[in-house]
């Protein structure tokens, strides 16, 4: 099947336009982070005329970026680890057992993902505040509350993707282990999980990204101490000044690890999506 010249050239043109659309903001993020403050406050220039790393130094003191970063790291990693652990057990049950309510569970869990966040933001806010007042369990304005909230956000999709992965692991392996006397949990940990490592890693990264990027609940459920990057980065725009070079520098630092992690694992995401979509 040969490609005609017209096809080849239209492909090149369309892909170049798309790449430009994607690239421009990314380029501006990088190039503006390398400019001194005066240069981002004047007319826009494509090229940083006086490149400097000063923004990467200053950004730590303009706002307490270190604390926000630590909060985000803590919240996102703990939420990701718990979310994946819970998802592994649930996905194992859905993949390997036929029980009453299996279909209901799958549909309900996936559909909660689709509901508007604002719908449970208000009640959740009130529940956390009142629970804190009544029992002293601090969920509002604490990292714990945020962790619990976030781990449910990634849960549905994590379960869905892991079911796809587990389904692709032949049952014969399970049965062989069971003949050797392994119980269900040992089968899960010694047979199924090792075969599904790429899926588990991809799901972990997905759960981390979900928590790392969440804005709505972070803006309501945190205070100055538990604030995450999602809200904290807005601190660079004050009444008098917007430190655009520092905003871009901080954005860059915050983005590179997740983007790198995602791109490194992208083929496992594609595989997970394919596995899920086949059903």
Least separation in angstroms between residue 170's CB and another protein is 20
Number of helices (H) and strands (E) in the chain: give both, helices first. Answer: 15, 0
Does residue 61 belong to the site contacting another protein (CB under 8 A)?
no
Nearer to another protein, 173 or 262 (CB): 262
Single out the residue of 227, 207, 235, 195 nearest to residue 61, CA to CA.
Answer: 235
Return the residue of 52, 54, 77, 255 that touches another protein, per CB under 8 A.
255
How many residues interact with another protein (rule CB under 8 A)?
93
Distance CA 151, CA 155 (A): 6
Q: Near another protein by CB under 8 A, which window of 3-11, 51-59, 172-180, 193-201?
A: 3-11
Sign, Cα dihedral of 141, 145, 147, 149: negative
Residue 249 and residue 56 in contact, taking contact as beta carbons nearer than 8 Å? yes
User: What end-to-end distance do the CA atoms of the chain give, in Å?
Assistant: 31
In the region spanning residues 153 to 172, those forming contacts with another protein, defined by CB under 8 A, are 155-156, 159
Sign, Cα dihedral of 256, 260, 261, 262: positive
Does residue 149 belong to the site contacting another protein (CB under 8 A)?
yes
In the region spanning residues 196 to 225, those forming contacts with another protein, defined by CB under 8 A, are 209, 212-213, 215-216, 219-220
Distance CA 3, CA 1 (A): 7
The crossing angle, in degrees rounded to 10, of helices 244-264 and 197-213 is: 160
Does residue 55 belong to the site contacting another protein (CB under 8 A)?
no
Distance CA 244, CA 32 (A): 8
Does residue 233 belong to the site contacting another protein (CB under 8 A)?
yes
Return the residue of 230, 243, 246, 268 that touches another protein, per CB under 8 A.
230
Does residue 182 belong to the site contacting another protein (CB under 8 A)?
no
Q: Residue 237, SS3? A: strand
Least separation in angstroms between residue 43's CB and another protein is 6
Does residue 179 belong to the site contacting another protein (CB under 8 A)?
no
Nearer to another protein, 80 or 248 (CB): 248
Least separation in angstroms between residue 108's CB and another protein is 7
In the region spanning residues 62 to 101, those forming contacts with another protein, defined by CB under 8 A, are 86-87, 89-90, 92-94, 97, 99
Instruction: Return the DSSP state at 2.
Output: P
Least separation in angstroms between residue 171's CB and another protein is 15
Does residue 5 belong to the site contacting another protein (CB under 8 A)?
no
Instruction: Scan for tokens 């400019």, then name that residue.
Output: 35
Least separation in angstroms between residue 110's CB and another protein is 10
- Beta bridge pairs of residue 242: 237
In the region spanning residues 13 to 32, those forming contacts with another protein, defined by CB under 8 A, are 14-15, 18-19, 21-26, 28-29, 32
In the region spanning residues 95 to 134, those forming contacts with another protein, defined by CB under 8 A, are 97, 99, 102, 105, 108-109, 112, 114-124, 126-127, 130, 133
Q: Residue 83, SS3? A: helix
Sign, Cα dihedral of 98, 102, 106, 109: negative
């Amino acid at each position: 099947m040969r490609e005609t010249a017209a096809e080849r050239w239209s492909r090149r043109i369309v892909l170049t336009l798309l790449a430009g659309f994607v690239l421009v903001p990314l380029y501006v993020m990088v190039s503006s982070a390398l400019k001194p403050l005066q240069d981002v406050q004047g007319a826009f220039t494509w090229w940083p005329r006086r490149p400097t790393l000063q923004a990467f130094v200053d950004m730590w003191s303009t706002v307490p970026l270190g604390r926000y970063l630590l909060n985000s790291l803590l919240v996102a990693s703990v939420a990701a680890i718990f979310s994946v652990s819970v998802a592994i057990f649930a996905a194992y049950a859905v993949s390997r057992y036929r029980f009453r309510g299996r279909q209901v569970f799958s549909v309900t869990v996936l559909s909660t993902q689709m509901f508007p966040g604002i719908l449970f933001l208000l009640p959740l806010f009130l529940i956390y505040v009142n629970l804190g007042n009544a029992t002293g369990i601090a969920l509002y304005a604490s990292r714990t509350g945020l962790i619990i909230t976030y781990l449910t956000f990634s849960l549905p999709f994590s379960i869905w993707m892991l079911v796809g992965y587990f389904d692709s692991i032949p049952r014969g392996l399970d049965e062989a282990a069971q003949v050797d006397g392994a119980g269900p949990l040992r089968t899960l940990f010694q047979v199924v999980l090792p075969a599904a490592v790429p899926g588990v890693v991809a799901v972990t990264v997905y759960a981390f990204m979900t928590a790392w990027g969440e804005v709505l609940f972070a803006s309501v459920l945190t205070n100055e101490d538990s604030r995450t990057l999602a809200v904290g980065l807005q601190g660079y725009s004050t009444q008098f000044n917007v430190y655009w070079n520092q905003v871009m520098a901080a954005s860059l630092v915050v983005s590179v690890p997740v983007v790198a992690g995602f791109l490194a694992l992208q083929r496992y995401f594609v595989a997970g999506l394919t596995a899920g979509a086949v059903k």
